[in-house]
């Protein structure tokens, strides 16, 4: 009944309009009124959109049929004489519409012809370039940073008779305590430091075949440090180092629905493990620093659990489980079979909800092989009598925190001169993050990360005599690390006005993770530290944004050693 009322109202409105308007205004008003009323019927649920479309289509067809019938009838009723010419009256607004229609059709036809000719003759299109050029993609980023490190006023003194915090990385690199320059023997615990730093990365990705890609990335930084690509300014004008940061092959296997169910990667590759996100976007550096690249091989298999979108036949990454396995050589020796390796595996879940929320979780196990230091057993155990197995057990890079033992003594036999790791490292790691999209375009991300070293043997380590333990007694097990983090704002800051803020608290026990690969900024790198971080990002323009962070930390075990760090960054990507 309601539908008939609307249609009757439509007829009366049309009749009233025809009685009061001119010919052009009558037709235009009738057409617009009819279309608007039909739209209202659809919006109020009186008729469906399908029915509305059918009504308009039928009306159009009937109008055309009537026009044809009228033309045919006129031709039959009045045949003009041979010398008679008749010009039917055509309203001016109809003439305007005909002109516009001719222009549109002519324009479309001309544009189509021009586009076909441009394509065939390759006018400024990528096809005009050699095929190999189209297979390459160039990308990069640059970061300018101001960093200020503030040492706590009550920190333990640098150097002196107590030697609170020796610089074991510098000592091992120099070949022993006697060979180390005095200014490099100890870590800085008292002098504030400010630096201007730069980071530049340039990558090239190449398509080998449809499923096989190759990648190379150059980055600034220095060779001995695997967890930083920063270049500190102030080298008397010396040129920066530019190193090969990535070099890999990657193969993606896809099924008939274009679902990527297997990825194989080899070479010097990006971190294959899920860690919650990037350095400034929801991620964790509890176990792995963001700048760390992995040398070796990794494989990831995925299984789709369905889609959270309205297209159930189209695969996406909203709901899947995955498993990643990797093998990475860390250090190879010619004269020793004790090569160092890292083996790892991770199982994970990505679960997207229809309201755009997302849950991501992963549990991993990392097993280091031959990572412990092997002391010299000669009598006396001086460093000049080391065997290949002793020298190979020295870590090539350390930051701060892990328990250490002496490998050998200096020639005077006055004490240890080179140092290795006291503990083995078999780490279980659990990550979880929930992305709440209720405030879209702003997201609230809550994340947690936990790691524990199962390879710590308290009895064995106390037998070996830890040299950097300051407890004065038995070395206790400090093998837990954890972090909680919250991010709010845009998930990614890529354009002007976009922003996000974040805050986290972390606790990293002395032997919970390998200090060489952990966060290089928190407490200036390593383990045996606890504290918090706050910061944010703000988009200055497209692909240019500002980042600010404040990191506050202190040691967990040992003499007072607190550090506050301010970082102000301008980031650009291209």
Tens digit of each residue's pLDDT (9 = 90 or more) over 228-280: 999 999 988 888 888 999 999 999 999 888 889 999 999 999 999 999 877 77
Range with the poorest average pLDDT among 31-35, 115-119, 187-191, 410-414? 115-119
pLDDT at 16: 45
* Mean residue pLDDT across the chain: 85
Domains by residue range for the chain, with CATH:
2-78+89-119 (no CATH), 142-573 (2.40.160)
pLDDT of residue 86: 54
- Residue among 268, 199, 194 at smallest CA distance from 229: 199
Predicted confidence at residue 398, as pLDDT, reads 96
pLDDT at 9: 45
Q: What SS3 class is residue 302? A: strand
Q: Looking at residue 35, what is its pLDDT?
A: 75
pLDDT for 49 equals: 66
Q: Name, in order, each residue with C-beta under 8 angstroms of 290's C-beta and a sequence gap of 6 or more.
A: 271, 278, 279, 283
**CB of 500 within 8 A of CB of 494?**
no
Q: Residue 515 has what pLDDT?
A: 97
Q: What pTM did the predictor assign?
A: 0.76
pLDDT classification of 223: cutoffs 50, 70, 90: confident
Question: pLDDT over 70 for what percent of the chain?
Answer: 78
| Cβ neighbours, 10 Å, residue 239 | 6
- Residue 14 has a pLDDT of 47
User: Residue 3 CB: number of other CB atoms within 10 A?
Assistant: 11
Q: Does 94 score more than 80 pLDDT?
A: no
DSSP lists the bridge partners of residue 445 as 435, 487
- Position 12 scores a pLDDT of 45
Give 344-358 pLDDT, tens digit per residue: 999 999 999 988 899
Whether the pLDDT of residue 311 is over 60: the answer is no
Residue pair 265/248 in contact (Cβ under 8 Å)? The answer is yes
pLDDT band (50, 70, 90) for residue 334? confident
Closest CA to 447 of 491, 509, 498, 494: 491
Burial 380-410 (b: 16+ CB within 10 A, else e): ebbbeebeeebbbbbbebbbbbbbbbbbbbb
Interval 172-181 mean pLDDT: 90
**Using an 8 Å Cβ cutoff, are 206 and 213 in contact?**
yes
Phi/psi of residue 16, nearest 5 degrees: -65, -40
Helix (H, G, I), strand (E, B) or coil at 523: helix
Q: Confidence band (pLDDT; 50, 70, 90) for 507?
A: very high
Query: HEC string of 73-131?
Result: HHHHHCCCCCCCCCCCCCCHHHHHHHHHHHHHHHHHHHHHHHHHHHHHHCCCCHHHCCH
Structure-block tokens of residue 155: 């920190």
How wide is the angle at C-alpha 230 spanned by C-alphas 225 and 233, nearest 5°?
A: 120
pLDDT of residue 38: 74
Does residue 17 carry a pLDDT above 90? no
Distance between CA atoms of 314 and 258, rounded to whole angstroms? 9
Using CA atoms, how far apart are residues 462 and 475, in angstroms rounded to an integer?
6
Q: Is the pLDDT higher at 3 or at 469?
A: 469
Measure the CA–CA gap between 303 and 324, rounded to whole angstroms.
Answer: 12
Max mean pLDDT among 53-62, 65-74, 469-478, 533-542 falls in 533-542
Residue 204 buriedness (CB in 10 A; 0-12 / 13-18 / 19+): middle
Please report the DSSP string for 376-425 in residue order: --SSS-BGGG--HHHHHTS-S---S-S-EEEEEE-TT-SSEEEEEESS--
pLDDT of residue 270: 96
């Amino acid at each position: 009944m309601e539908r008939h009322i609307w249609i009757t109202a439509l007829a009366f409105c049309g009749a009233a309009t025809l009685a009061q308007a001119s010919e052009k205004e009558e037709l235009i008003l009738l057409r617009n009124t009819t279309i608007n009323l039909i739209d209202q019927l659809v919006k109020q649920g009186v008729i469906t959109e399908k029915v509305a479309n059918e009504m308009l289509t039928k009306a159009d067809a009937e109008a055309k049929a009537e026009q044809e019938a009228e033309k045919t009838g006129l031709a039959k009723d009045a045949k003009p004489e041979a010398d008679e010419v008749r010009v039917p009256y055509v309203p001016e607004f109809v003439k305007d519409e005909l002109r516009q229609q001719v222009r549109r059709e002519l324009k479309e036809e001309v544009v189509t012809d021009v586009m076909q000719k441009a394509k065939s003759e390759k006018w400024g299109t990528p096809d005009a370039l050699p095929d190999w050029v189209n297979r390459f993609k160039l990308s990069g980023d640059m970061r300018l940073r101001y960093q200020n490190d503030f040492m706590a006023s009550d920190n333990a003194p640098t150097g002196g008779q107590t030697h609170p915090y020796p610089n074991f990385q510098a000592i091992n690199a120099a070949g022993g305590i006697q060979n180390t320059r005095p200014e490099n023997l100890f870590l800085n615990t008292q002098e504030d430091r400010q630096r201007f730093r730069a980071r530049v990365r340039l990558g090239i990705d190449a398509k080998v075949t449809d499923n096989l890609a190759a990648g190379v990335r150059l980055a600034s930084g220095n060779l001995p440090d695997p967890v930083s690509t920063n270049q500190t300014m102030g080298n008397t004008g010396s040129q920066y180092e530019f190193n090969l940061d990535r070099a890999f092959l990657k193969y993606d296997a896809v099924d008939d629905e274009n679902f990527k169910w297997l990825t194989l990667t080899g070479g010097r590759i990006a971190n294959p493990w899920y860690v919650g996100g990037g350095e400034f976007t929801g991620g964790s550096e509890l176990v792995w620093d963001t700048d760390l690249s992995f040398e070796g091989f990794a494989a990831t298999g995925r299984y789709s659990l369905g889609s959270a979108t309205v297209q159930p036949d189209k695969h996406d990454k909203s709901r899947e489980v995955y498993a990643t396995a990797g093998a990475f050589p860390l250090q190879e020796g010619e004269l020793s079979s004790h090569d160092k390796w890292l083996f790892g595996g991770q199982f994970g879940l990505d679960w997207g909800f229809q309201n755009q929320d997302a849950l991501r979780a992963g549990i991993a196990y990392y097993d280091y092989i031959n990572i412990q230091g092997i002391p010299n057993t000669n009598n006396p155990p001086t460093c000049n009598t080391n065997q290949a197995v002793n020298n190979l057990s020295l870590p090539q890079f350390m930051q701060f925190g892990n328990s250490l033992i002496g490998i050998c003594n200096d020639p005077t036999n006055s004490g240890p001169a080179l140092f290795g790791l006291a503990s083995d490292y078999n780490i279980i790691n659990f990550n979880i993050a929930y992305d709440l999209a209720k405030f879209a375009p702003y997201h609230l991300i809550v994340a947690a990360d936990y790691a524990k070293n199962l390879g710590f043997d308290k009895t064995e380590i106390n037998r070996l005599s830890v040299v950097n333990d300051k407890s004065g007694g038995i070395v206790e097990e400090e093998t837990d690390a954890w972090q909680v983090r919250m991010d709010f704002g845009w998930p990614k800051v890529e354009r002007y006005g976009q922003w996000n803020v974040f805050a986290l608290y972390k606790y990293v026990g002395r032997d919970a993770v390998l200090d060489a690969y952990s966060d290089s900024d928190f407490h200036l790198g390593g383990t045996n530290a606890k504290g918090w971080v706050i910061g944010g990002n703000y988009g200055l323009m497209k692909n240019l944004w500002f980042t600010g962070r404040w990191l506050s930390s202190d040691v967990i075990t040992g003499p007072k050693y607190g550090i506050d760090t301010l970082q102000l960054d301008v980031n650009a990507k291209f």
